[in-house]
Amino acid sequence: MVSPRVYEAMRQPIVGHLDPFFFEVVEDVRKLLAYTFSTSNEFNIAISGTGTSGMETAVANFAEPGARFAVLANGYFCDRLADVARRHGSEVVRLEKPWGEVFDDQQAREFILREKPRTVAYVQAETSAGVYQPGNAICEAAHEVDALVIADCVTSLGGMPVMVDETGIDIAYSCTQKGLGCPPGLAPLTVSPRAWERLRARTRPVDSFYMDLRLLDSYYRDHKYHHTASATMFYALREALAIVREEGIENRWQRHRRNHAAFVAGIEALGMRMHVAEGHRLWTLNTPRVPDGVDDVKVRQRLLAEHGIEIAGGLGSLAGKVFRIGLMGYSSTEENVARILDALQRSMK
C-alpha cells in the first residue's frame, strides 16, 4: 500500500526533466538513498523503470561478454539474474540450493574461490521463497578474487537491514513499491567507488544505452539530456524516503520484525507452518505452507472477493505449495497482521 503522504506529494505540479527544481529533488533523493541503503556511496540514483530495470542496469554495466558471472541461486529472482547475465554475453556459473534455503559461509566461499568470477550476484531478499541471504562471506570471498558483488535488495530495502557498506556490497538495487511504500516505477540503485572505478576502466561500451550508468551520471549530475524522467515519480520517492528518515531506519526494521513475528505466531496458531526455517525468514514477505487439502487458488480468490485482500501464490517449484504474503512498508501494521490472519482462517474454512 502507498502512504497518503506519498499520494499527496504526487499532486505537485509536474516540471520538466531538465528543470532546476527537478534536479534539486534528484539531489534530495540521492542523499536519502544513502541513508536508506546504509552507505557512504556518492553514486545513488533511481533508474526510470521498475525493480527489474535495476537488475538489468546492474548486470548490463558490470557483466562483460565472455567474463565469468557467478550466481548463488536459491529462488526465482536468482534465476532471473542468471538469465539477464547470460543475455548480456556472460559465462554464467551457478551454485544451487533448494528454494527457501540459504548458503552458508563456507559453501559460498568455496564456490567463489573455485570459480574466480569477475562478478558475483546474489538475492538478499528472495521474494519467491521468503528467504533472507546474508552476504558478508559472499562479499569477502568475491573481493579476494577481485570480483564485484551485485545484491538484489528489492524486498529488503526499507524493511530489513541492507547495510551496503558493512556487508561489502558493490552494487545494490531495489524498487519503490515494496518496503518504501511508493508506487512502482523507479529502481533505486547504489554503486561503490570500487565498482565505479571498474566501470570507468571498461573499454567496451555498455550494451544498453538507456541503462548506461555513465550516461545516467552525466544526466543527473551534469544535467545533460539522456531521457525524460518522471518528476512525479521522483516527488513520490523523495517523500517515501523522507518518511523512512523520520521514522528512523532501525525503528523501521524493528517494526517490520515485530509484525512479522506476530504474523508467524498467528500462522502457527492456525496449525500452519512456515516454509523457511526460523532465523532465515524475510520480515517483509511471508511464505506459510499451503495446508494439505487446501486449494491455494480458491483461497486467494476468496480473500480478494470477500475481504479485499490480494496475496500471491508460489512461483516455480513452490507453485501451489506456499502463500506469499507481503507485510511491508506502509502495510506493515498490527492491524493488517490481525486482518490477514482472520481473513485467511475464514477463507481456508
Question: What is the CATH number assigned to the segment(s) 249-348?
Answer: 3.90.1150.10
User: Which residues are bridge partners to 45 per DSSP?
Assistant: 189
pLDDT digits (tens, 9 = 90+) for 120-173: 999 999 999 999 999 999 999 999 999 999 999 999 999 999 999 999 999 999
pLDDT digits (tens, 9 = 90+) for 263-307: 999 999 999 999 999 999 999 999 999 999 999 999 999 999 999
pLDDT in the model for residue 194: 97
- Residue 58, SS3? helix
pLDDT in the model for residue 327: 97
Q: Which residues contact 222 (CB under 8 A, 6 or more apart)?
A: none
Domain limits, CATH 3.90.1150.10, in the chain: 249-348
- Which residue positions in the chain have pLDDT lower than 70? none
Q: Which residues contact 61 (CB under 8 A, 6 or more apart)?
A: 171, 199, 206, 211, 212, 213
pLDDT in the model for residue 125: 97
pLDDT in the model for residue 208: 95
**pTM (2 d.p.):** 0.96
- Domain at 4-246, CATH from 1.10.1040.10, 3.30.1330.40, 3.40.50.300, 3.40.640.10: 3.40.640.10
